[in-house]
Amino acid sequence: MLKRYVVATRKSELALKQTELAVSYLISQLVVKQQAIRDPVLSSNEISRFETLPLTTKGDRDQSIELGRSEHKGLFVKELELALLRGDADIAVHSAKDIPIVLPDGLSIAGYLPREEANEVLVFRKGADIKTIATDSLRRRAQLLKIFPNVEWRSMRGNIKTRLMKIASGYADATLLASAGLKRLGIDSWPQLAFKKYSLTEIVPAVGQGAIAIQCRTDDVPFWRPLLDFSTFLAVEKERQLLAESNGGCGSAFAAHVRGEEVIVF
C-alpha cells in the first residue's frame, strides 16, 4: 500500500535542494527495507510518496534580526517544528547546525543523512587586499581574527547567492561560507570571486555543519532512525553534547567537529 509522507522544509533554494536529497535518500532506504522483508524488486513508486510543505521561518522573514543573539535560537526551525506538532508534516528537513540543543517536548532528531564535508570556504574578490569581511557569526569572526588580525567586520544576511553577489559588488572584501552549501548548489566558481577552502583545524566548523537532519515526532523515531546514517548520528550528537556542556549556542563562538575518534574544538 502506498504511504504518503509530508516533509516540512524552508523555502530557500538550498533548503529545497537539501529536502530533495533527503527524500531521495529516504526512498532508497525504504526500497532496501522493503526488499529485505518481501524480497521482490520494488520501484520507489511502489513504496511511498513524499510531498513537500515549504514554510517561511522567522529567520527568513526578518533579515534585520541579529543571528548571534541567544534569544534568537531556533529562528530557522520553529515553524517547521510547529508543523510537526500540529500533525501537518511527518518529518522536517533541517541543516543540522540550525537546530537548538533543547528541542520541544514531543519532538526528536531522528537522524542524519551521510555527512557532506564540513569545511569552511573563504570567498573573496580576486586581487583584493582583505580588509573587510562580512559575517554575523561570532564563531567565524573569532577564528578569522587569527588569520586576519586587523580586519573590519560587516554584517551579512541572505542566501548563498545573495552573499556571493554582495562580495562581488564590493560590499566587503570577503565572506566565509560552508563548503557543503556551495557543493549542494553546484557552485565552485563565481564571476570576480576566488574560493579558498580551509582545513577543519584552520577554521573549526559549526556543530553539525555539513549534515542534513531529519526531525520527527518522538513516537516516530523507531521508524525513521534505522533508515538514516549511524556514523553521522554518532558524530553530530557528540558535537551537540559538547555544545551543551559549553553552554554555547548561536550567541557563542564555540565550534566542534567529530571525525571518528578525533574531536576538534575551538
pLDDT tens digits in sequence order for the chain, 266 residues long? 568 999 999 999 999 999 999 999 999 999 887 776 665 555 555 557 899 999 999 878 876 665 555 444 688 999 999 999 999 999 999 999 999 999 999 999 999 999 999 999 999 999 999 999 999 999 999 999 999 999 999 999 899 999 999 999 999 999 999 999 999 999 999 999 999 999 999 999 999 999 999 999 999 999 999 999 999 999 999 999 999 999 866 568 999 999 999 999 99
pLDDT number for residue 66: 59
Give the chain's length. Answer: 266
CA distances, 220 to each of 7, 23, 90, 150 (Å) = 14, 17, 9, 50
- Decide if 105 is catalytic: no
pLDDT number for residue 72: 45
pLDDT number for residue 71: 42
CA distances, 33 to each of 19, 42, 127, 187, 260 (Å) = 21, 10, 53, 34, 27
The pTM of the full predicted model, rounded to 2 decimals, is: 0.91
In the chain, the domains with their CATH numbers are 3-115+208-229 (3.40.190.10), 120-197 (3.40.190.10)
C-alpha cell at 184: 549542494
Which member of 39, 60, 90, 98 is catalytic?
Answer: 98
pLDDT number for residue 218: 99
Alpha carbon distance 1, 8 (integer Å): 23
